Every structure is written in C-alpha cells, then in structure tokens.
Homo-oligomer: A and B are copies of this chain.
Amino acid sequence: MKVAVMGYGTVGSGVVDVIDTHGKLLAKRTGGEPLEIAHILDLRDFPDDPHSELFTKNFSDILNDDEVKIVAETMGGVNPAFDFTKRLLKAGKAVVTSNKELVAQKGLELLQAAEEGKTNYLFEASVGGGIPIIRPMAQCLAGNNIVGIAGILNGTTNFILTKMIEEDMSFGDALKLAQDNGYAEKDPTADIEGHDACRKVCILASLAFGKHVYPNQVATEGISNISLEDVAYVSSANGVIKLLGQIKYINDDSIAAFVSPAVVYNGSQLASVRDVFNAILVRGDAVGDLCFYGRGAGKLPTASAVVADMVDCAKHVVRRKLFGWGAGAEDYVIDHKATVEMPFYVRANVSEEQVKGIFGEVKFLTRKDQPSDEVAFITGSMTENELMKRLDGIHTLNIIKVTNY
C-alpha cells in the first residue's frame, strides 16, 4: 500500500526510518501488504538522503496520487497542516498525525472531514509520544465513566524538574542542560510555560468526555517559578513537584481542566516518573486508577506510534467509529479556581502563629538553611479563590497545587 509522509523533521524522518527497518514486520501486521513510501513532502532539500527521489515540495503530488491511501502528517503547527489534512481526508485518504497543536485546535473539524471522506483520522502519537493512550481511552475504557485524569505530559519540563529534585540543579542550569541534550528548543517557551502540556490536556479531555476542549479554555501555568527552595520543602513532606495536566469530571456539561506545577506524594505512580518519561493516570469509576508510562517524545518512540496508526489504517480501509468527539461549548470548562477544592503548598514570609491564625492546623515543612522569616506549609482542602482570600495581605513566595493522584 502506497503511503506518503508530510514533514521530514525529527518525527517524519523517524517514520521513514521505522518503515525502512521494519518492512517485514509491518507487512505481516497489515495482513500482507507492505507500506511503500511514495512521496515525502518538505520544503527543504535533502540531496544526500537515500530517499531523495521521493521528495517533493508540491502538496498536489500527494493529493492527486490515487494510489496513496495513507498519509502521515508530521509537519507540526496549524498551518498549512490543517488545510492539507482537511483536503486529504475529504479526498478519502486516511491521515495519521503526531501534531498535537493541530489536533487540539482542529480535531473536531478534521474528524468531521474524515467522516465526509469515509476515512480515518488517527492521532495516537499526539499525546504521550510512543505511549498507547488514545486507543486505550477511546476503546478499552468504554465501560467506565472517567472521573479524572492527571498526566506528566511534557518530557522537557519533567527532565528539568528531575534534575532540580535529584541533583539540586537550579532551574536555569537544568534548562541549559535540557537544551544541550536536545530535549528543549532554543526557544523553550512552549514546553516551560506549559503550552505543550495544555494541547495534550485538550486532546485527552475531548476524548474522555466527547466534547472538544480548546487550548484557550485550559488555565495554563509553567514551571519557571519553581525554585530549589520549593523542591526542598516539598521533599521534606515526602513529595515531589511535577508539571501536571489535570482534568476533572464535574457533570455531563462541565469539566475542570488545568496545567500547573503540582505536589505529588511519593507512592503515587506519577512520583516515580523521572527524566524525559511521561505518564498518564486515568481514574475510572469501575476500573479505578490506571497508569500508562513511557517515552513521551523522541524520534523513534513517536514515529513508532505514527506507524502503528498507519498499520491500523491499512488494516481498516473503511472508516472506523473510534471517537465520540463532538462540539465543545464556551462554558464547558469551568473556572477551577472557584470550584475545585484541594490542598495547597504555600511558601511565604509570615510567622507560624499567623499561619495558624488564618488556616488552623496545617502541616509545616522544613528545609536546610531555612530563613527565620520564611515558612512553608500544606493547607487543608479549599478552592484557590478561598486560599487567595485568606492569604490577602501576606507576602507569598510561591503557591503550588497539591494533587490527589
């Protein structure tokens, strides 16, 4: 079966690699038909690439090739990936993607285009890289009402936090190391500020509850405010700080969804997720807690998920009704600060007496070289708005959510 790859960056070249090196296996898994790469779309030149004769700069070469049935979109970004994908789907070609930005922004429209073209739009690689999560969510959990989801969805920030926690490295040094290792971009904003995790939260929430959640609906906070002092205090409470994407079912018409640093206690499956690894914890009303762990990024892990989707398309040339992903609504994601109760970690310049006066009994934390005018503590469960009201007039140094996953 002829296939095409759009975008020859890290993931796209990985897809070509996996198809090259796993030919026999893939033919067996599709039921006999090998995947044959007919075109590679990229605006750049790759004169020394062994596949140089397959490159094109012209999208129409793919769109108009009737023999091409499956296209891997690994371009990233919304434009022109959106336009290309939509036209391919409407023309009846299956598209598989690792492009989380596109799925988060335009998933609903593209699934509708797939319906129109009687074909499939699959995006296993868009969340958790090589970790199987989209299919398990869409299929294996069909017997559950999903209660909540919490995930370490970004490898770069998890690498940085791991270095801060385990090696006492400053945020700046850890970021520099992540860049030197190729884990972080030169402009690391999308990772560090939580935007990448936010897109994945949108995709997971849309799948879990069947209504499209858009990135601008998800309150998103990154890790640049986390200091080694916070890490030390949280460690004294047997916890670690992780960047979590969290989704909570409220009722059929509303959910909470946010990305933020969070205190995770040791013993949680999420606490032991180190370095660039990702993990997604899904809580179902029948199954309880499930956790999916693995490499959330990287050339071959992500590519292997893209290729698995291609195999699935090759096996099922008719459209599959995998996803109940419908329209969203402006008021669907509620203001979690006003409604979701949880404990909070607070570091502030205030006396223990004052804290007790405001919060009653709390758990005070300690660290080495703790200044006499600094306290850190974990509050009881309350909304963030309530917390801020109580902290009015207090000089806070940091506030971090405490998760119950």
Contact = CB atoms under 8 A, between A and B. Distances in A.
- SS of A interface (majority): mixed
Interface in A100-159: 124, 130-132, 135-136, 139-145
A320 to B, nearest CB: 7
Contacts of A272: 267, 269, 272
A288 B305 CA distance: 12
Contacts of A321: 31, 315
A303 interface: yes
How many copies of the chain does the oligomer comprise?
A: 2
A325 to B, nearest CB: 12
Contact of A287 (B142, B269, B294): B294
A31 B321 CA distance: 8
Interface stretch (A22-30, A237-245, A388-396): A22-30
Contacts of A311: 139, 142-143
Interface residues of A, number: 51
A294 B291 contact: yes
A25 B285 CA distance: 12
A283 B301 CA distance: 11
A316 B142 CA distance: 14
Contacts of A31: 321, 324
A312 interface: yes
A26 B142 CA distance: 7
B135 A140 contact: yes
B22 A324 contact: no
Contact of A143 (B136, B141, B210, B305): B305
A18 B320 CA distance: 25
Nearest to A128: B290
Nearest to A15: B143
Contacts of A300: 286-287
A304 B291 contact: no
Interface string A297-318: 0001101111110111001100
Nearest 5 CB-CB pairings of A with B: A143-B307, A132-B140, A286-B304, A130-B287, A143-B304
